[in-house]
Amino acid sequence: MSDDYRDQSSSPDATGAFEDWMEQLAAETDLSTEEVFEQLVSAYWTLNEIFGLVERVGSESTLFRRAESGDRNADPTPEASRPRDAERTNDRGTNDRGTEEPSGSDADALRAELSHLQARLSDVEAALEAAQSDSREEVTALAEQFDAARAADRSRLDSLDAHVNTEFGNSRTVLRRLIESQHGHDDALAAVRSELAALGDHVEAEAALSELKERANRLGVERADCEACGSTVRLALLSTPACPHCAEPFDGVEPHTGWWFGSDVLTVASGGDGAEADEQRPREDPKRKTVLPELPPDAE
């Protein structure tokens, strides 16, 4: 019977049913599954000791040997054993010490129950060992996966760190070059602006000189006195519309209208002397200061 139960209990269905029974017992007793299992193991070893004690006491007892010999010689049918058990109970209800003696059927039932419990506990131990083995394998697999993932992450971080250092170093070098190039562009742009401003001033001066000479030509004036300093100026030799002696800019020509002594006059914009005109002249921007080649004087 115990072998049949062991074969049935070792099946997956029996193991699952036993685990369900343990969970139900743990819920009813407000204990954990581990505590219930420990109590079952403790009960198993206690029953095992009781079973061994019964075996030892029974083998030494005369009544036990007599019961065994009587059971072997008796009719195995229940009808034949009942009268004999009744007579034995009536004749000897108690032993010499006044305690009830166990019958052979009780010993067999106890032995069968102990065998049953032993088989169940063996199955529980096997299931627990299998669960512990599976848990250890899962923990080992998880630890290996964790180590592999950590190694991969460390490798990726090292690669990313190296990439950032390389890219940042190159970016810093490029940025420094761009800043230096920007400074160079600013200087070049300032020079171009200065040259354009000087060129604009030169174009304006050329236009003013051309207009002055054209007016003098219409009036037939070749020489005229500077209104600011009184010096005689030959219009054909002017390179800029300004007095070569006092640097006052000319803005027109007034011919002499009298009959007697007099001269034509080159009027100036300020209408005063050269010092006042120089003070009123706007200051040049130092950034726009550009030296241009002097133009050759016009031929007379």
Identify the bridge partners of residue 268 per DSSP, sorted by sequence position.
250
pLDDT for res 13? 64
Q: Residues 109, 199: one domain?
A: no
* Backbone φ and ψ of 156, nearest 5°: -65, -40
Domain encompassing residue 238: 186-288
Q: Residues 152, 15: one domain?
A: yes
pLDDT for res 16? 74
233-246 per-position pLDDT tens digit:
888 888 888 898 89
Which regions in the chain score pLDDT beneath 50?
1-10, 62-64, 72-99, 271-300
* pTM (global) more than 0.85: no
Inside any domain, residue 167: no
Inside any domain, residue 180: no
C-alpha dihedral sign at 278, 283, 286, 288: negative
Domains contained in the chain, number: 2
pLDDT for res 66? 52
Q: Residues 57, 195: one domain?
A: no
Quote the longest CA-to-CA distance of the chain.
191
146-176 per-position pLDDT tens digit:
999 999 999 999 988 888 777 777 777 878 8
Identify the bridge partners of residue 234 per DSSP, sorted by sequence position.
223
